[in-house]
């Protein structure tokens, strides 16, 4: 029987975070979602991680869903996002710490590890490159420059929000459907979850402010990350080129890469069984799992 998922509110760093939680372990896996998602994007991973001996906690990040939504672009600067992660781990009081992250959540997770803001036992990254790897590639690689057009578009005031909000946030639904290889992974009830969150007053501006407040993220530098790191990558990502999975030797000391052919950017939602299987193999290799293999 799959471990149950319960809802709670976590108070950390002066904010309230709506969270889905599975498991009761002293070891905590914190799962950070991306844009334009929510904690719902981890619905397949929460019970799986609980079965491997973790208390899996997936918050709505600041500005998203039912979490606090501070006003102003500056409130979404990476320094505050890092402080949120630090604060949540402090409140959760874990024995061991695993950070699992996708898209914007993965940007945050990379910087947490780069700054050593949290003493992590493991890091699992999905479909977002190390900031230095991205910065080096985009300087000269035209295909990635073209794929990153939306970052510049999001710098425009109010217009991106206006367009995404039309027809009950059809633009949000299209972000999943247009990118997904397996459109069946995003049936109407799943898309409705993300549309409803985007239509909360102020939510779209908060979500896009992650892009507006952090143009300098590529200047982030650090010594090589020494936390064991697993990168999972859907090869059919139309926003981030697969070349961004290369060249990690100078940046991550203990690096494992698993690529998924015919899977899009939405890797953990589109291919949950292969993703969970890859996580399980890696967790066992690193002494971070105790449960049985996942089943489809």
Active site residues per annotation: 103, 211, 265
Cβ distance 239 to 153 under 8 Å? no
Phi and psi at residue 240, to the nearest 5°: -135, 120
Q: What angle do CA 251, 254, 260 make, to 5 degrees?
A: 90
Rounding to the nearest 10 degrees, give the CA dihedral for residues 23, 42, 122, 243: 170
Q: Are the C-beta atoms of residues 131 and 111 closer than 8 Å to each other?
A: yes
Rounded to an integer, what distance in angstroms lies between the CA atom of residue 159 and that of residue 29?
Answer: 36
User: Which residues are registered as beta bridge partners of 256?
Assistant: 230
Alpha-carbon distances, residue 255 vs 13, 92, 123, 228, 252 (angstroms): 31, 27, 10, 6, 6
Displacement of CA 200 from its chain's centroid (Å): 21
Q: Tokens at residue 67, please?
A: 């979490």
Say what the alpha-carbon torsion angle 73, 102, 283, 44 is, to the nearest 10 degrees: 120
Tokens, residue 174 = 């299209």
Q: What are phi and psi of 277, to 5 degrees?
A: -65, -40
């Amino acid at each position: 029987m799959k471990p149950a998922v319960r809802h709670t509110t976590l108070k950390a760093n002066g904010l309230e975070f709506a969270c889905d939680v599975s498991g009761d372990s002293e070891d905590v896996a914190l799962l950070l979602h991306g844009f334009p998602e929510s904690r719902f994007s981890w619905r397949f991973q929460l019970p799986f991680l609980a079965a491997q001996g973790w208390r899996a906690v997936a918050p709505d990040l600041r500005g998203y869903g039912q979490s606090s939504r501070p006003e102003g672009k500056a409130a979404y600067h990476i320094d505050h996002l890092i402080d949120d992660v630090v604060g949540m781990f402090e409140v959760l009081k874990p024995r061991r710490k695993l950070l699992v992250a996708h898209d914007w959540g993965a940007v945050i997770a990379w910087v947490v590890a780069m700054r050593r803001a949290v003493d992590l036992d493991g890091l699992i990254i999905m479909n977002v490159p190390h900031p230095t790897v991205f910065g080096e590639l985009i300087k000269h690689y035209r295909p990635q420059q073209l794929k990153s057009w939306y970052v510049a578009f999001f710098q425009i005031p109010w217009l991106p929000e206006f367009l995404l909000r039309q027809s009950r946030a059809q633009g949000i639904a299209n972000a999943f459907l247009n990118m997904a290889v397996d459109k069946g992974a995003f049936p109407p009830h799943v898309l409705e979850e993300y549309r409803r969150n985007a239509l909360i007053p102020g939510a779209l501006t908060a979500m896009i402010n992650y892009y507006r407040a952090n143009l300098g993220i590529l200047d982030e530098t650090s010594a090589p990350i020494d936390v064991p790191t697993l990168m999972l990558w859907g090869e059919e990502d139309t926003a981030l080129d697969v070349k961004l999975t290369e060249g990690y030797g100078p940046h991550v000391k203990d690096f494992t890469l698993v690529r998924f052919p015919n899977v899009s950017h939405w890797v953990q939602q589109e291919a949950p069984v292969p993703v969970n299987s890859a996580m399980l193999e890696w967790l066992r290799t690193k002494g971070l799992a105790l449960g049985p293999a996942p089943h489809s």
